């Protein structure tokens, strides 16, 4: 899910080759607001050390190939609501209305590890299942 219009979502699908069936565009910011996701302020984008640390970690781990490719073709755009440019995301797993996992990204590029999500979504052993957690900021 991402901020933006349906038109921008289609452009994103063309660029990334992701299956459009799994993409939801939230131009009104309804889901972000309902989940009370964090927003940065313009100053923190320049002063919060978590963003450059997260980016440096990706570079060190060699996980920037997709970004380099995307930046060659992607055109900057202004989101439907200007403040959405400061919107942070997160990762959530629900079973019905029960939140099994929730993490609000604290800074740009500071995302949940995929392995952590997979442990929730694809538990290997009933003894290793993570209990439902409350949503934390």
What's the token pair of residue 98? 């029960």
**Is the C-alpha dihedral spanning 55, 62, 17, 111 positive or negative?**
negative
Cα end-to-end distance, the chain, whole Å: 19
Measured distance CA(94)–CA(100) in Å, rounded: 5
pTM: 0.68
pLDDT by position in tens, the chain (length 137)? 888 899 988 988 888 888 999 888 999 999 999 999 988 777 666 677 777 787 788 788 887 777 777 778 777 778 888 888 888 999 999 999 999 999 999 888 788 988 899 999 988 755 555 455 544 44
Q: Where are the domains of the chain?
A: 6-128
């Amino acid at each position: 899910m991402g901020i933006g219009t349906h038109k921008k979502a289609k452009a994103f699908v063309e660029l990334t080759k992701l299956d459009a069936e799994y993409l939801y565009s939230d131009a009104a910011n309804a889901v972000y607001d309902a989940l009370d996701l964090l927003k940065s302020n313009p100053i923190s984008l320049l002063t919060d050390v978590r963003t450059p640390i997260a980016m440096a970690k990706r570079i060190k781990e060699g996980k920037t190939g997709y970004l380099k490719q995307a930046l060659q073709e992607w055109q900057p755009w202004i989101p439907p609501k200007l403040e959405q440019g400061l919107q942070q995301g997160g990762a959530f797993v629900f079973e019905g209305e029960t939140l099994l996992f929730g993490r609000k990204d604290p800074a740009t590029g500071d995302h949940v590890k995929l392995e952590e999500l997979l442990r929730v979504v694809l538990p290997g052993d009933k003894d290793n299942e993570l209990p439902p957690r409350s949503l934390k900021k």
